[in-house]
Amino acid sequence: MRQLDLVVIVVYLIGIAWIGLRKAGRQKSAKDYFVGEGHMPWWTVSFSVVATETSVLTVISVPGGAYSGQGFGNVELALGYVVGRVVVATVLIPLYKRGGFVSAYQYLGDRFGLKLQGLASVTFVFTRLLAEGVRLFASAIPIKLLLDEFGVHASYRAIIIVITLITVVYTYLGGIKAVIWTDAIQMVLYLGGAVLAVAVLSAHVGGDGYARALDAGKFALFDTDFNLAHILTSPFALPTAIVGGAIFAMASHGSDQLIVQRVLATRTLREGQKAMIASGVFVTVQFAAFSLVGALLWSYNEGRSFAELGLSSSDNLYPEFILHGLPVVVSGLLVAGILGAAMGSLSSALNSMSNSTVADIIHSFFRSTPSEEALLRLARWMTLVWATLMAVFACAFSASTGNVYLTGLTIAGYTYGALLGAFLLGRLVKRANEVDSVVAFLVTIGVMTYIVRGVKIDVTTAGTTVSQAIAAQWLVPIGVLITLLVGGVLSLFHRAPEPSAAPALDDEPGAGPDQLTTTAGRN
């Protein structure tokens, strides 16, 4: 009975909003709203980091990729991400916790000045609007397919609006506490769904099914093709996954406010570091679970192609199994898990964009300091503003072309190198000042725009040569090198700034000054 599945989904939607509001408590200041008074348990923060970086496309595409030939390549990628998170935990998180910041970009304001802080934040919120708007629309695609199967015929726009409305209720009222607790629940739900799928599939295929998948290479972990063109264009080539993936993770988890904000909500530096490193372990487990689902589905379907299964793409594989291969109620739980992935990434984006707007943009461009009550009201209003813009932007994609869609999904390649490069410039080039950093930042974004849109590499496979884009993992190190080179060269044309003493690091709960409205920029 599909009605029972629908009941499960409705109960989930109501329950997740209620839990978020119950866990949120009352916020007395904008800092409470954005970092939860710095009192969040490390494990919930770690779960929230994973839920934030996991979209619906991750949940449905990893099984399809494992089925079609990627094997456990996503697990290989995750190993590189773990390395990058260890670096972030040891190098960047201490900077943020030392300053008592509520935004990663406040470090840039403290090191270089308010101009770079504001520029980095504006770059973040508008690129996040583009990326998350596309992500929200992409989330509606499989959800519509699932609801159609249940007999609920809703348009993409209706799905987008409903997801946004439910998510914005607990995000607007509950702030980061509500976001982190609901993220943690949603991660457990969709990862638990993968475990349920593995259990059902294992019962169907047995040990022989595992053996067949192993013989067919569905458990292959490392791509050891060391051809240079392959390394530069394939995300699964071993050097790309480990080296490029590590640097990519340094950018995504060390310079993107979407992730950094969660870590700043932990009690102490040590707990923040634990949350960051543990998130890498959880992501590896997550990729392994969804890859195992894909490998077992290959045995379950006896290796038939997607066309033979009547599927238009690999992304339909897992939703198809959820609908037709699982018992009633269980399938409803897994659909709720997919909704959870969509809502988790959306709520995180809304809160982090509101955070960056209030803590960075308002402070950088307006000299007056509002009261705490005014900042809290502004924080909530900005959550509504960004939710509205994101929903409008996502709805606009229902009539858009694939080119715009792909541009939104690859937006990180334009900006991550400049963002991470700015942080490293501040750490590694002591002579660099605000002008150096701003020029280097803008030059990097300009050059990376050209590289992402115009640079292709010829790759020859089985006698056929095809032009392919540079793998996303290499875009970040290229951007970082450009930022360091430009900023470093410019720093040679002036005297070094006068050094100032950094505040001592105190690893106690609540340590560090309240930096929401006070940032001392220097040149």
pLDDT, tens digit (0-9, with 9 covering 90-100), for 170-229: 787 777 788 888 888 888 888 888 898 999 999 988 889 899 989 888 888 888 888 888
Look at residue 261 in the predicted model and tell me its pLDDT. 82
Neighbouring CB atoms inside 10 A of 16's CB total: 26
Asked whether the predicted pLDDT for residue 300 surpasses 50, the reply is yes
Tell me where in the chain the CATH 1.20.1730.10 domain(s) lie.
2-400
Which residues are registered as beta bridge partners of 40? 266
Mean pLDDT of 254-282: 89
* Angular region, 366: left φ>0, alpha ψ -120 to 50, beta rest: beta
Asked if 156 contacts 395 with a C-beta cutoff of 8 angstroms, the reply is yes
- Enter the pTM of the model: 0.82
Amino acid at 495: R
Query: Which stretches within 366-458 are classed as H helix?
Result: 372-396, 402-409, 412-428, 434-454
Amino acid at 198: V
Tens-place pLDDT, residues 272-285: 999 999 999 999 99
With respect to CATH, is domain 2-400 assigned 1.20.1730.10?
Answer: yes
Residue 110's closest CA among 97, 123, 101?
101
Tens-place pLDDT, residues 280-299: 999 999 999 999 999 999 99
Distance, CA of 418 to CA of 436 (rounded, Å): 13
pLDDT band at 36 (very low <50, low <70, confident <90, very high): low
Contacting residues for 161 by C-beta, under 8 A, at least 6 apart: 391, 395
Look at residue 285 in the predicted model and tell me its pLDDT. 93
Lowest mean pLDDT of 394-398, 451-455, 471-475, 496-500, name the range.
496-500
Asked whether the predicted pLDDT for residue 484 surpasses 80, the reply is yes
